[in-house]
Amino acid sequence: MSSIPSLAWIPLLPLLGALLNLTLGRRLSRGAVHTIAIAAVAAAFALCIYLIFGIPGLGGGDVWRAYKAGSGGTGIAQTVYTWIEVGSFKVELAFRLDTLSSVMVLIVTGCSTLIHIYSTGYMSHEPRYAAYFGYLNLFTGAMLILVLGANLPVMFIGWEGVGVCSFLLIGFWYENESYANAGRKAFVVNRIGDFCFLLGMFLLFWATKTLDFEQLEQTTQGAAYVQPFWGGERLAAAAGIFLFIGACGKSAQLPLYVWLPDAMAGPTPVSALIHAATMVTAGVYMVVRLSFLYSASTTALIVVSTIGMLTALAAAFMAFAQTDLKKVLAYSTVSQLGFMFVAAGTGNWVAAIFHLGTHAFFKACLFLGAGSVMHGMEHGIEHVGAHGQSSGDITKMGGLRRHMPITRITFMISCLAIAGIFPFSGFFSKDEILAGAWTVHPPGWPVWYGKLLWAGLLIAALGTAFYMWRLYFLVFGGSERSDAAKHAHESPRSMTMPLVILAGLATIAGLIGFPHLTGIKLPSITHALSSWLAPSVTPTWWNPGPDGVNAGQAIMGHASDGSILGLAALALAIGGAGIGLAWMFYGRGPSPTVARLTEGPLHGAYEASKNKLWVDEIYEAAFVRPFRVVARGLYEVVDRFLIDTIAVNGVAMVVSVFGRLARWFQNGQVQRYIAGIVVGAAVLFLVTDWSEKPTFDYEVVGDRVHLTAQPGAGLMSSTSKLRWDVDGDGTPDIDPKTRKPYEGLEIDVLRGDTGAKVSLFIDDPITRKTRVVTRVLRLPADDAAKAQEAK
Amino acid sequence: MPGSFLLPLLIALPLLGAILVMCAPRTESTLHRGLGFVFTTVTFLVSLLMFRYFNVKFDGYQLVFDHEWIPGLGARFKTGVDGLSVLLVLLTTFLMPLTLLGTVKSVERHAREFMAAMLVLEAGMIGAFVALDVFLFYVFWEVMLIPMYLLIGIWGGQRRLYASIKFVVYTMVGSLLMLVAIFYVYVQHANVTGTYTTDLEALMQVALPHGAQYWCFAAFALAFAIKIPLFPVHTWLPDAHVEAPTAGSVILAGVLLKFGIYGFLRYAMPLFPHGAAEWAPAIAILAVAGIIYGAFVAFSQDDVKKLVAYSSVSHMGFCALGIFTLTAMGISGSIYAMLSHGLTTGGLFLGIGVLYERRHTRRMAEYGGIWKQMPLFAGLYLIVVMGSAGLPALSGFVGEYLTLFGTFISGDTFPEAFPSYLPMPRLLGALATTGVILGAIYLLYMFQKVFFGKLDKARNGHLRDLSGRELATFLPLVVLIFALGMFPRPALQVMEPSVQKFIRDYHRRVAEPDGPAHVYGRLPTAQAKSIEEGLDQLARGADRVGSLMKPSGTPQAGFGGAQ
Residues 479-498 of B with CB under 8 A from A: 486-489, 492-493, 496
Q: Around A185, how many Cα atoms within 13 Å sit in the side-chain half-sphere?
A: 24
CA A1, CA A9: separation in Å to the nearest integer? 10
Residues of chain A with pLDDT under 70: 1-2, 219-222, 543-552, 688-692, 712-719, 766, 780-791
> How far A56 CA lies from chain B's nearest CA (Å)?
36
pLDDT of residue A314: 92
Q: Do B232 and A167 touch (CB under 8 A)?
A: no
Q: Does residue A525 or residue B256 have the better pLDDT?
A: B256
* CB of A45 closer than 8 Å to CB of A113: yes
Tell me what percent of chain A is helix, strand and coil, each rounded to the nearest 5: 65, 10, 25
Q: Do B293 and A638 touch (CB under 8 A)?
A: yes
Interface test with B, best of A22, A83, A84 (most B CBs within 10 A): A84
List, as one string, the DSSP characters of A509-569: GGGGG----SSSPPPGGGGHHHHHHGGGS--B----STT-TTTT-BSS----HHHHHHHHH
Q: Quickly count: other Cβ atoms within 10 Å of residue A361's Cβ.
A: 28
Backbone angles phi, psi at A748, to 5 degrees: -115, 135
Q: Which residues contact A523 (CB under 8 A, 6 or more apart)?
A: none
Picking from A157, A202, A648, the nearest residue to B235 by CB comes out as: A648
Q: Do B391 and A161 touch (CB under 8 A)?
A: yes
CA angle A237–A241–A247, rounded 5-degree value = 150
Q: Do B437 and A648 touch (CB under 8 A)?
A: no
CA B392, CA B274: separation in Å to the nearest integer? 37
Provide the number of CB pairs (under 8 Å) joining chain A to chain B.
Answer: 141
Interface test with B, best of A86, A88, A209, A242 (most B CBs within 10 A): A86
CB-based contact, A174 to chain B, within 8 Å: yes
What stretches of A420-447 show up as alpha helix (H) in DSSP? 425-439
* CB of A51 closer than 8 Å to CB of A42: no
Residues 262-291 of B with CB under 8 A from A: none
Q: Around A431, how many Cα atoms within 13 Å sit in the side-chain half-sphere?
A: 29
Q: Does residue A748 or residue B383 have the better pLDDT?
A: B383
Q: Do B333 and A86 touch (CB under 8 A)?
A: yes
Q: Do B489 and A153 touch (CB under 8 A)?
A: no
* CB of A331 closer than 8 Å to CB of A374: no
Q: Do A205 and B379 touch (CB under 8 A)?
A: no
Q: Does residue A630 or residue B458 have the better pLDDT?
A: A630
CA B49, CA B43: separation in Å to the nearest integer? 10
Picking from A26, A86, A632, the nearest residue to B402 by CB comes out as: A86
CB-based contact, A84 to chain B, within 8 Å: yes
Backbone angles phi, psi at A616, to 5 degrees: -60, -40
CA B310, CA B234: separation in Å to the nearest integer? 9
Residues 370-399 of A with CB under 8 A from B: none
What ranges do the domains of chain B cover?
1-172, 282-489
CB environment A735-770: b (16+ within 10 A), e (fewer): beeeeeebeeeebebeeeebeeebbbbbbeeeeeee
Residues 650-709 of A with CB under 8 A from B: 652
Q: Do A87 and B369 touch (CB under 8 A)?
A: no
Q: Do A164 and B434 touch (CB under 8 A)?
A: no
Nearest alpha carbon to residue A224 among A246, A205, A242, A250: A205
Average pLDDT over residues B473-481: 94
> How far A567 CA lies from chain B's nearest CA (Å)?
44
For residue A388, give the DSSP letter.
T
CB-based contact, A634 to chain B, within 8 Å: yes
- In chain B, residues with a C-beta closer than 8 Å to the C-beta of A644 are 235
- In chain B, residues with a C-beta closer than 8 Å to the C-beta of A164 are 386, 391
Picking from A161, A631, A643, the nearest residue to B232 by CB comes out as: A643
Q: Which helix (H) or strand (E) holds B64?
A: strand B62-70
- In chain B, residues with a C-beta closer than 8 Å to the C-beta of A169 are none
* Residues forming a β-bridge with A696: A709
CA A311, CA A298: separation in Å to the nearest integer? 20
Picking from A180, A205, A647, the nearest residue to B448 by CB comes out as: A180
* CB of B124 closer than 8 Å to CB of B147: yes
Q: Do B392 and A648 touch (CB under 8 A)?
A: no
CA A376, CA A484: separation in Å to the nearest integer? 9
Picking from A187, A202, A638, the nearest residue to B444 by CB comes out as: A187
* Residues forming a β-bridge with A233: A230
Domain with CATH 2.60.40 in chain A: 695-790
- In chain A, residues with a C-beta closer than 8 Å to the C-beta of B452 are 171, 174-175, 177, 180
> How far A631 CA lies from chain B's nearest CA (Å)?
5
Picking from B404, B453, B500, the nearest residue to A202 by CB comes out as: B404
Range B5-10 contact pairs with CB under 8 angstroms and sequence separation of 24 or more = B5/B65, B6/B46, B6/B49, B6/B50, B6/B53, B6/B63, B7/B63, B7/B65, B7/B79, B7/B80, B7/B81, B7/B126, B7/B130, B8/B65, B8/B77, B8/B79, B9/B46, B10/B43, B10/B46, B10/B47, B10/B89, B10/B93, B10/B126, B10/B130
Assign domain A695-790 to a CATH class: mainly beta
Nearest alpha carbon to residue A449 among A529, A333, A557: A557
pLDDT of residue B562: 41
> How far A302 CA lies from chain B's nearest CA (Å)?
24
Among the residue ranges A593-602, B124-133, B476-485, B510-519, the one predicted with the least confidence is A593-602
Backbone angles phi, psi at A577, to 5 degrees: -60, -40
CB-based contact, B162 to chain A, within 8 Å: no
- In chain B, residues with a C-beta closer than 8 Å to the C-beta of A632 are 300
- Predicted interface score ipTM higher than 0.85: yes
Average pLDDT over residues B287-300: 93
The winner for highest mean pLDDT among A265-269, B22-26, B41-45 is B41-45
> How far B76 CA lies from chain A's nearest CA (Å)?
34
- In chain A, residues with a C-beta closer than 8 Å to the C-beta of B408 are 202-203, 205-206
> How far B493 CA lies from chain A's nearest CA (Å)?
8
Residues 583-622 of A with CB under 8 A from B: none
Residues 164-193 of B with CB under 8 A from A: 166, 169-170
pLDDT of residue A561: 82
Q: Which residues contact A279 (CB under 8 A, 6 or more apart)?
A: A139, A143, A162, A166, A250, A273
pLDDT band for position B496 (50/70/90)?
very high
pLDDT of residue A1: 42
Picking from B235, B404, B499, the nearest residue to A639 by CB comes out as: B235
CA A276, CA A358: separation in Å to the nearest integer? 11
For residue B523, give the DSSP letter.
-
**B160-183 pLDDT, tens digit each:** 899 999 999 989 988 999 999 999
Picking from A84, A630, A644, the nearest residue to B489 by CB comes out as: A84
List, as one string, the DSSP characters of A199-241: HHHHHHHHHHS--BHHHHHSHHHHGGGGSEEETTEEHHHHHHH
Count the helices and strands in chain A (H runs, E runs). Answer: 32, 10
Q: Do A86 and B293 touch (CB under 8 A)?
A: no
* CB of A442 closer than 8 Å to CB of A296: no
Q: Do A628 and B300 touch (CB under 8 A)?
A: yes
> How far B353 CA lies from chain A's nearest CA (Å)?
23
First-to-last alpha carbon distance for chain B, in angstroms, is 50
Backbone angles phi, psi at B438, to 5 degrees: -65, -40
**B55-107 pLDDT, tens digit each:** 889 988 999 999 989 888 889 999 999 999 999 999 999 999 999 998 887 78
- In chain A, residues with a C-beta closer than 8 Å to the C-beta of B169 are 652
- In chain A, residues with a C-beta closer than 8 Å to the C-beta of B393 are 157, 161
pLDDT of residue A702: 76
**CA separation, residue A593 to residues A384, A463, A466, A482, B308 (Å):** 31, 18, 15, 21, 58
Q: Do B433 and A199 touch (CB under 8 A)?
A: yes
Q: Which residues contact A668 (CB under 8 A, 6 or more apart)?
A: none
Interface test with A, best of B299, B336, B383, B494 (most A CBs within 10 A): B299
